Structures are given as C-alpha cells and as structure tokens.
Structure 1
C-alpha cells in the first residue's frame, strides 16, 4: 500500500485526463454515499439514521466512538431501549437508556424517562423544565451497534 505522499506525487505528475477521471470518480463515490444515507434515512424514518457516541455516559454497554444505527418507527418504547434524543437549544444529541415509560390514558404519545448506564441519576435535569421525554424529541431507537466504528485516529 502506497503512502499518501507517494500517491500525491503520482497524482501531480498525472495527465489532465487522468485527474479529471479521478475527480469524477470521487464525485460519484460521494454522491453514492449521500444517496445511500438518504435511502437509509427514509427506510428507518430517522432524520439521522447513524450516530457516533460522543461521551462515556453509557459505558460499559456503549463506548465513546461506537456507531449506532437508529430507527424511528412508531413502535412503543420499552424499559431497556437505548434512545437518542435532542433537547431544543443543544447541539449534541444524547444517547441514554429508557428506565421508565409513562403512558397517560388521555394521551397516545408515551412519555419516557432516561438515564445513562454510567450515570448515578436519571436525566430529568437535562429535560429543561420537562418531567418526561416525548416522541418529538427522540431522534431514534438504537437497533444495531458497531463498536469503535466512529472512532477516527
């Protein structure tokens, strides 16, 4: 396998036709990746079907750098599910486990309480004035985890 420096040297001495072909190939590769991401987003009904875990709050179950695949179907949440949610005004989504599901008979939308596996307390203090999380704040429920796949070194 050639080093990046050797590749760059070979690239600089290439003909203009070869350079154009490489740029077109790169464009096709990036376009294909974007289309695949959008198709996955449509199939899973999740705005962000793939997320990288950024903190240690779910260790040892999920570690920093793990890749999570999410779905956002209208299936009910159960205690033990791992969900990703985003509080308005915050930039980083939170990955935590459902510890309690509260279903009000007057409301068809379940309300959930979450907690990180590595945290001592539940997440009520993160909900900013709410007592429960509702479906509109949830990005998705994790259905597959790939360890360390999101870790770039």
Structure 2
C-alpha cells in the first residue's frame, strides 16, 4: 500500500510538470490555471489556482470560462450568449469586456470552463503568489517556460545513491523510471488537449414561408450555403480539418494554416421539408502537422480521432528512440511525505 501511495505522489509531481510543459507547447492553459488580477474577486482572488474542463464546448450565462483576448488568457464569467459567441465580464468589473472595445469571445478562443462541484469552485488559494512575478516572462519566453516547469517536477529530487534506510524517509527512483513516467504523462496530456482542440460549430437556421426576411430564414427544402470563418490563433502552424456531423450538412475539407492566417469554409445545407428551427453540427479539428497532410486527410475521413492516435504513435516512437539516453545508473531520491521528519 505504501508503495502505491509513493507511486501516486511521484506520478502527480511529474504529471503537473507535464501539464505545464504541454501547456507551454500549445500556448494555452491545460487542466489548471490561476488568475493574476482582481477582476474576478470575490469569487476568485488573485493567484488562486483553479481547474479547467477543456472538453466543454457549450457555455451558458453564468459559466466562468478561460479564453484568449488580445493575446492574453483571461478568466471571466459569461454575461450573455449572442449569435457570434459570448459577452464576458469580471465579477469585480462594472462593465462587460466588450463595452471596453474588446471582441466578442468566440468558441475557438476558449480553453475551457472552470470546474465546479455542486455549484462551488475548486480553488487552491494563493498558489500563484510564488510564480506570479515570473508568469509574464515565462509566457513570452517558451524556452524558459519549458526549463522552469521541467525542473519543477524535479524540484524536490536530489541525486545520490546510498543504502536504503529502514524508515524509508526517501523514495528512490532510477533515471529510466522517471523518464517513463514523464513520457506517459506527456502522452496523456497531449491526447487530452488534442481532443479538446476538436471544437463543434453549430449552424442554426429556420425553415419558413417568410424566407429571406431574416438572413437565417430559408424556405423548406432549400439547398443553401453557410460560411465558417477559421483562424489560427496559435503560435505554431496547424492542420485544420472540417467535417460535418449532420446528414443534412455537406463539408469535408482539410487545409494548412500558418500562425495568424485564416480561411473561410463553405458548408452546403439541405433544409428539411418541414418548417421549424434546425441546427447542423460541424466539427473543426486542429492537429499538429507531424505527418504529410495526405495522411491526415485519409485518417480524419475515417475518424477525427485517428490523427490524434497517429501523432501520439509518432511521439511514442520518438520517446522510445530516446529511451537509451535515459538508461543511467544514477538514482534520485525524493523525501517521502508519509514519514515524519526527526
């Protein structure tokens, strides 16, 4: 039992390090983050750590979301839901973000929703106090970000061999064991984040005899087009793949976008013969271009999750190739928190 607890403790340390590393690579918060201003007080105080659900793609009024605005990640509450996205506002602010000239928050710019249990936030107060002074420097300097958080996972580790102590005040790890835990952690986090980058777009319209009175109104049985505007807001090139999840919508297109570039995709929709309000679901998938685009096209045509598996396979192969470098006789020791200090 003690061995299992020790493994969980070490895995947790390395997992948090992996979360930070992957977050730096993708330039977005992953699973957890913290606030650096007073705009959400008293709900969330400055430097409080909170957890994010990256798989939530539907947001309602009152939800607290993490989104990118003017190049910075912001944690504010949804004040209103509009056709193009969301109006947001900090609980401690007098006016909405958009009244100050900021753009409406679109779904593709949202990292996720802050997790609550029975309506209560899960917060760890003050954790960001120790990292707030370097946070801006870290986000601007990706190399520094990687180094700092890679070392964070090893912060309490000290090298050294030596005899096993009876009271097991230290947990011993070989270099290869630490490397294996880190590899699995990175693969898990990359998988979770890659799935979160698959975002649904809902195209709503109404079929009515008053077609044309409003832009979203069409005649029953019409075949019409709607456009989806896609932009790469990241700092790396991405391969985008757009695929319909509705039998009434037709679109299947893949393309490559450099950072800051955008594209417009047309979706052909076959309206039902009956009058009513309808919504068609289209998936916009974003992948790291670690394979020929033809491979992504073939895999995504079968399932939008196959490219994620393929990228993970490539990363896994690379880690396996580098594994011999991790073979070392060096043993690390981390203080066992389950034992009392004398």
Indicate the TM-score class for this superposition, using the shorter chain for normalisation.
Answer: 0.5 to 0.7
The residue aligned with 2:80 is 100
The residue aligned with 1:87 is 69
Taking the aligned partners of 1:147 and 1:126, their CA distance within structure 2 comes to: 31
CA deviation vs aligned residue, 1:58-114 (integer Å, no higher than 9, x gap) = 1111100100111122441011111111124x2x31111101112x4xxxxx61110
- Structure 2, unaligned runs of 5 or more: 1-10, 116-121, 132-342
The residue aligned with 2:89 is 115
Taking the aligned partners of 1:98 and 1:149, their CA distance within structure 2 comes to: 25
Taking the aligned partners of 2:15 and 2:30, their CA distance within structure 1 comes to: 17
Residues 1:146 and 1:122: Cα distance change in structure 2 (over 3 Å) = same
Residues 1:126 and 1:139: Cα distance change in structure 2 (over 3 Å) = farther
Tell me if 1:145 matches 2:128.
Answer: no
The residue aligned with 1:10 is none
Residues 1:148 and 1:101: Cα distance change in structure 2 (over 3 Å) = same
The residue aligned with 2:41 is 59
Q: Scaled by the length of structure 1, what TM-score is found?
A: 0.59
CA contact (8 A) 2:56 2:113 kept: no
CA contact (8 A) 2:61 2:80 kept: yes
Q: Which has the higher strand share?
A: 2
CA deviation vs aligned residue, 1:36-64 (integer Å, no higher than 9, x gap) = x27x97xxxx7522112100001111100
Taking the aligned partners of 1:94 and 1:148, their CA distance within structure 2 comes to: 18
Tell me if 1:50 matches 2:22.
Answer: no
Residues 1:75 and 1:150: Cα distance change in structure 2 (over 3 Å) = same
CA contact (8 A) 2:64 2:113 kept: yes
- Structure 1, unaligned runs of 5 or more: 1-27, 105-109
Residues 1:135 and 1:75: Cα distance change in structure 2 (over 3 Å) = closer
Cα RMSD (Å): 2.9
SS of residue paired to 1:86: strand
Taking the aligned partners of 1:98 and 1:29, their CA distance within structure 2 comes to: 32
1:4-23 superposed matches below 5 A: none
Does 1 or 2 have the higher relative contact order (CA < 8 Å, sep 6+)? 1
SS of residue paired to 1:151: helix
What displacement does 1:151 show? 2.1
Q: Scaled by the length of structure 2, what TM-score is found?
A: 0.29
